[in-house]
Amino acid sequence: MFTRGMVRLAMLVSFTVAAAFLWGVGCSSDDSGTGGDGDNGNGLNADSIVLLANDSMGALMNEMITVTLDNPDSSFRPEDIDFSGAYNMYLEALAADPGNNDARFGAAFCALMTFMGDPDFNAFFEDLANFADSIDGSPISMIPQVSLGGAGLMTGIPYTTGGLGQIGFNPVALDQRIAETASQDDPVINDLQTVFENALLPLVSEARSYLEAIVADTSYRFFITGEMQGNPGAASIEVDNADFRVFLAATNVFESMIEVFLARNLDLPSYDMQGVAQAMRQNHPFLSLRAGNHMGLALDRLLDGSAQVRAAIEALIAEANSGDNQDDDLIPVGIDDIDDLTEARDSILAWEAYFTGPTDLNIVVDEYTDCYWDGQDIQCDYYEETIEMTVDLRQWFDNPLTNLKDFLPGYAVSLDTISLVDDEYELCLVWTATTFATWEFPNPTINGFLPGLTSDSLKTMFGLTSEMWEQTMCDTIR
Max CA-CA distance within the chain?
Answer: 93
Per-residue pLDDT, 158: 30
Contact 279, 269 (CB under 8 A): yes
Dihedral over alpha carbons 116, 121, 123, 128 (to 10 degrees): -100
Per-residue pLDDT of 134-153, as tens digits, reads 544 333 333 333 333 333 32
Q: What is the C-alpha separation between 307 and 345, in angstroms, rounded? A: 10
DSSP assignment of 194-230, as one string?
A: HHIIIIIHHHHHHHHHHHHHHHH-TT--EEE-TTTTT
> Residue 190 pLDDT more than 80?
yes
> Residue 277 pLDDT more than 80?
yes
Per-residue pLDDT, 401: 95
Where along the chain do its domains lie?
1-117, 358-390
Radius of gyration of the chain (CA): 27
Per-residue pLDDT of 63-94, as tens digits, reads 665 666 666 655 555 556 778 888 999 999 99
pTM of the model: 0.77
List Cα–Cα distances, 224 to 19, 20, 215, 235, 414, in angstroms. 11, 7, 18, 9, 61
Question: Any alpha helices (H) in 161-200, and if so which ranges?
Answer: 189-195
Per-residue pLDDT, 367: 83
Contact 429, 472 (CB under 8 A): yes
Contact 197, 260 (CB under 8 A): no
Q: What is the C-alpha separation between 283 and 428, in angstroms, rounded? A: 16
Contact 286, 267 (CB under 8 A): yes
Please state, for a pLDDT cut of 70, what percent of the chain lies above it.
73
> Residue 11 pLDDT more than 80?
no
Q: What is the C-alpha separation between 126 and 444, in angstroms, rounded? A: 41
Contact 78, 25 (CB under 8 A): no
pLDDT band for position 115 (50/70/90)? confident
